[in-house]
């Protein structure tokens, strides 16, 4: 377990992109089922702008959020971008309707989506481009190999993967340098522990999606509620603080469509946990 006294505020992705470890995930800016426009467009714009005001310099998105809605909102709200803002996007999942995510990893499709994301986000180069899912119908070397070609051409800067095993990561590393992984991980769901440990040992960024279990960990009266009161904090803040203290390579990306919830989440970076408190949290959930 990471000692709180050595818990850094920043992490450097790929050796040259230094970001604050508490970022922002854009998936919840879209409509129900991650489909269509937000219920409140103006609030979505305010959330993005406020996140940067609060010090967020790592924003995670994907072409499939909407689809395309989240990327368009980011460009509308934040372009021209402030220096040092890192926008990571993904491709490899298509959308056929709300909550439907068929994987497509054909090289020509990944190339098309990378170029479209570049245009939608109004970027000269995508700092971190992640394969959203490995398509089992397409050889891994073709999928990661196409991203390597895009990297060599200057379209993308760094390559990441999402929802992979240690073995899949190691296979991909034979094709291209992989600087990040993005797997389901939170205080209540820790199946990706082996991947996290491998990432920490190799200096790879670990980006947990659903860091708050889509709000499940933040419910009033839930298992974290009593512990949170000891810190004069909310359950969501405590769940995020635990992630930040779990590993120095952890980059949580809590998402929300509300400025109030955003401001609440960002206070998690101020919470310090002792080793005993970390153990208490892990045993409680």
| Residue in 55, 44, 46, 47 with CA at minimum distance from that of residue 22 | 55
Taking the C-alpha atoms of residue 94 and residue 10, their distance in angstroms, rounded to an integer, is 32
List 65, 68, 81, 185, catalytic entry: 65
Residue 11 bridge partners (DSSP): 19
Element counts in the chain: helices (H) and strands (E): 10, 9
Active site residue 68: no
Q: Which residue has the tokens 């379209």?
A: 155
How far apart CA 91 and CA 166 sit, in angstroms, is: 20
Tokens encoding 111: 């190339």
Instruction: Please name the residue that has the structure tokens 């499940």.
Output: 216
Identify the H or E element spanning 160. Answer: strand 156-162
Long-range pairs for 261-264: beta carbons < 8 A, 24 or more residues apart: 261/236, 262/24, 262/47, 262/50, 262/51, 262/54, 263/50, 263/54, 264/234, 264/236, 264/237
Place of tokens 């200057």: 154
Q: Which residues are part of the catalytic machinery?
A: 65
């Amino acid at each position: 377990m990471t000692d709180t006294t050595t818990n850094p505020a920043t992490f450097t992705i790929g050796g040259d992109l230094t970001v604050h470890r508490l970022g922002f995930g854009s998936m919840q800016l879209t409509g129900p089922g991650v489909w269509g426009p937000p219920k409140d467009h103006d609030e979505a714009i305010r959330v993005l702008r406020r996140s940067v005001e609060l010090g967020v310099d790592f924003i995670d998105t994907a072409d499939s959020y909407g689809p395309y809605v989240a990327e368009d909102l980011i460009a509308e709200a934040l372009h021209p971008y402030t220096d040092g803002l890192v926008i990571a996007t993904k491709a490899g999942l298509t959308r056929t309707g709300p909550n439907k995510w068929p994987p497509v990893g054909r090289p020509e499709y990944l190339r098309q989506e990378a170029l479209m994301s570049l245009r939608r986000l109004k970027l000269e180069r995508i700092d971190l481009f992640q394969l959203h899912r490995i398509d089992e119908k397409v050889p891994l070397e073709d999928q990661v190999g196409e991203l390597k070609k895009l990297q060599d051409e200057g379209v993308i800067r760094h390559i990441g993967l999402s929802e992979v095993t240690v073995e899949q990561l190691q296979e991909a590393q034979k094709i291209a340098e992989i600087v990040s992984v993005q797997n389901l991980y939170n205080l209540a769901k820790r199946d990706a522990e082996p991947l996290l440990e491998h990432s920490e040992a190799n200096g790879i960024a670990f980006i947990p999606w659903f860091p708050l279990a889509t709000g499940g960990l933040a419910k009033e009266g839930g298992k974290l509620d009593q512990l949170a009161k000891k810190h004069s904090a909310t359950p969501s803040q405590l769940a995020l603080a635990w992630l930040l203290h779990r590993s120095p390579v952890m980059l949580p990306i809590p998402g929300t469509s509300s400025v109030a919830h955003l401001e609440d989440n960002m206070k998690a970076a101020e919470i310090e946990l002792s080793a005993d408190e970390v153990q208490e949290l892990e045993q409680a959930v």
